[in-house]
Amino acid sequence: MKLMTLLPYLLLAAGLLSTLALFLTLKRDMVRAQARQKRRFEQMMMRLEEAERPQRAAKDPAITSVPGPLRGGLNLNKRVHAMRMLRRGEDVAHVAAALGVPSKEVELLVRVHTIGKARAAVAGQGADADPS
């Protein structure tokens, strides 16, 4: 009979002890997870510093000039536009300035076009001559 009167208190005490045990376990897991995250963060910071180290070395004052980015040459649109301008009688320097390409490239385009035109004319004459 005395056990029946103490049973609710014993169950309450057991519940509180199990809650305390769960709380302490959770707290320990949180501390471990925080330590793990801190280690991962420190490793990432070390890797970042290692990655930045070559960039700092690249900023060495011994390097006097850095080459500029490569420019695109005469693409198809620029070639067509250049040929139209040249047919209209524009100067090579003016065409180069208008298209933003070196004048040597425009001169090369003119030479290639004249060679191609001459070859086409020779091929056209050979086709016109009938062997029979």
pLDDT, tens digit, 9 for 90 and up, residues 32-89? 999 999 999 999 999 998 888 876 655 655 556 666 666 666 678 888 888 899 999 9
75-111 pLDDT, tens per residue? 788 888 888 999 999 999 999 888 888 889 889 989 9
CA distance 92 to 114: 14
Residue 106 one-letter amino acid: V
Tokens of 41: 């963060």
Residue 5 to residue 39: CA distance in whole angstroms:
53
* pLDDT tens profile 8-26: 999 999 999 999 999 999 9
Give the span between the Cα atoms of 111 and 113, in whole angstroms: 5
| pTM metric for this prediction | 0.41
* Residue 84 to residue 29: CA distance in whole angstroms: 76
List the structure tokens of 95: 């065409």
